Amino acid sequence: MGKTVLTIQGEDFYINGQKTYSEIVGSKPAAHGLLMNARFIQGLFDDKANPERFNRFGRSFDPDKNTDDLIASLPEWYKYGLRAFTVGLQGGGPCFTVNNGSIRNNLFGPDGKSLDPAYLARLDRLITAADQLGMVVIVSYFYPGQLPRIKDGRSVANAVRTASRFLKSKGYTNVIIEVCNEMDVDRGHSIIHQPEGMAVLIELAKEESGGMLVGCSGGGGSSFREVSEASDVILIHGNGCSRQRYYNLIAKVREYSPGKPVVNNEDSQAIGQLKVAYNTHTSWGYYNNMTKQEPPTDWSITRGEDQFFAWRMAEGIGIDVPAIPEEDQYYLQGLEKDMTYDEKRWLRVASLYPEKIDYVEFYCNGECVYSCYNEPFSIDYRSNWSQGGRKVDTKDQWKAVIYLRDGQVIERT
């Protein structure tokens, strides 16, 4: 048995028999039992098709270093209240740069009966390190972008058996299984993207893992009665949702299968959604394409969005962390050194309290080139988790004019 033993009672999570966060002096009772988390899906990443293309952003990529860097970052995240993270056996994305279909990032053999030893070694290091720290790992088996590498429906079932038996053999006690990331993104295996088939796979994972907690997510805002009923932990994704739609999603899955913990393990960097999570006593998952999904990844709490999420998470739990000065609560993100791809950058305004912002105007060399009215206030906004890239010359002068709801106007350059 591991050092970190995860159990559930009703809608609450317990670690070693104690409600999560209840051991923290001064923490808020309303937050006890939650499992605040982040999407660190690329913690095992490799690309056997062309690994050299991930030597970028001023760094070189090595799969073992990538995992070890994530392990090294976990104590910092833990201090701010992060108690779980999702890692993928087939990764996830990247969404802004390299086409995922051209990447070969896959633990499974085509028939689902074999597992890549190098991936397993990295997975074991990661789960063991999290266990020592008191953290939970949400192990996501399948990702739609890599699913075609598994031959057919029978092979999918084999893969669930094989992966679950491995987890059981290691005796992990700090794992939640996510059978598939966004099961309703169709990549040809009906056993996965049909709710009835997924319910069968969930039961298979429970049996073969020796009773580990199991769930499965749908795309942003989607839910399925059969999946909720079969799951131990109801996993949802909030990306693309307004706060109201997100609230409605939580209400729907609780109607489907009441009395279970609800965990959003993928949303966006729109940290205003945290208000809904804390108000509904549901766990929330931070997801940032640029800082945490584009290899090689800097797993630390970087300036801007990562920093603001960590602080708001701690605030909601009642963890005493240093205050962020008001002048540092708004940040024009995306112009950091080396953060370019194909001469593009992904510019946005990060803020500690995005709820205070009415809209943002972006200026390049004195000309207004874009206005954004939705959190997280990005250029070329597509969704709260996605934006377009802009060609940026090193001589360009950028400025964000931030209009607050109280009438104040703030500039960041």
pLDDT in tens, the chain (413 residues): 689 999 999 999 999 999 999 999 999 999 999 999 999 999 999 999 998 999 999 999 999 999 999 999 999 999 999 999 999 999 998 999 998 889 999 999 999 999 999 999 999 999 999 999 999 999 999 999 999 999 999 999 999 999 999 999 999 999 999 999 999 997 779 999 999 999 999 999 999 999 999 999 999 999 999 999 999 999 999 999 999 999 999 999 999 999 999 999 999 999 999 999 999 999 999 999 999 999 999 999 999 999 999 999 999 999 999 999 999 999 999 999 999 999 999 999 999 999 999 999 999 999 999 999 999 999 999 999 999 999 999 899 999 999 999 999 999 99
Q: Is this prediction's pTM over 0.75? A: yes
Q: Are residues 269 and 332 in the same domain?
A: no
Q: Are residues 99 and 246 in the same domain?
A: yes
Boundary residue ending a domain (285, 317, 349): 317
Nearest one of 355, 224, 288, 230 to 93, comparing CA atoms:
288
The 3 state secondary structure assigned to the chain is: CCCCCEEEECCEEEECCEECCCCCCCCCHHHCCCCCEEECHHHHCCCCCCHHHHCECCECCCHHHHHHHHHHHHHHHHHCCCCEEEEECCCCCCCCCCCHHHCCCCCECCCCCCECHHHHHHHHHHHHHHHHHCCEEEEEEECCCCHHHCCCHHHHHHHHHHHHHHHHHHCCCCEEEEEECCCCCCCCCHHHHCHHHHHHHHHHHHHHCCCCEEECCCCCCCCCHHHHHHCCCEEEECCCCCHHHHHHHHHHHHHHCCCCCEEEEECCCCHHHHHHHHHHCCECEECCHHHHCCCCCCCCCCCCHHHHHHHHHHHHHCCCCCCCCHHHCEEEECCCCCCCECCEECCEEEECCHHHEEEEEEEECCEEEEEECCCCCECCEEECCEECCEECCCCCCEEEEEEECCCCEEEEC
Query: Residue 121 is encoded by which pair of tokens?
Result: 């070694």
Residue 114, in any domain of the structure: yes
What is the tally of structural domains in the chain? 2
Residue 207, in any domain of the structure: yes
Q: Are residues 245 and 301 in the same domain?
A: yes
Q: Are residues 290 and 263 in the same domain?
A: yes
Q: Are residues 392 and 271 in the same domain?
A: no
Q: Are residues 149 and 53 in the same domain?
A: yes
Domain with residue 235: its CATH number is 3.20.20.80
**365 lies in which domain range?**
326-412
Q: Are residues 112 and 254 in the same domain?
A: yes
Residue 57, in any domain of the structure: yes
Q: Are residues 277 and 352 in the same domain?
A: no
Q: Are residues 334 and 231 in the same domain?
A: no
Residue 190, in any domain of the structure: yes
Q: Are residues 222 and 124 in the same domain?
A: yes
Q: Are residues 256 and 341 in the same domain?
A: no
CA distances from 195 to 112, 145, 245 (A): 21, 19, 21
Boundary residue ending a domain (252, 285, 317): 317
Boundary residue ending a domain (276, 291, 317): 317
Q: Are residues 281 and 400 in the same domain?
A: no
The 3 state secondary structure assigned to 275-302 is: HHHHHHCCECEECCHHHHCCCCCCCCCC
CA distance 131 to 112: 27
Domain with residue 369: its CATH number is 2.60.40
Residue 1, in any domain of the structure: no
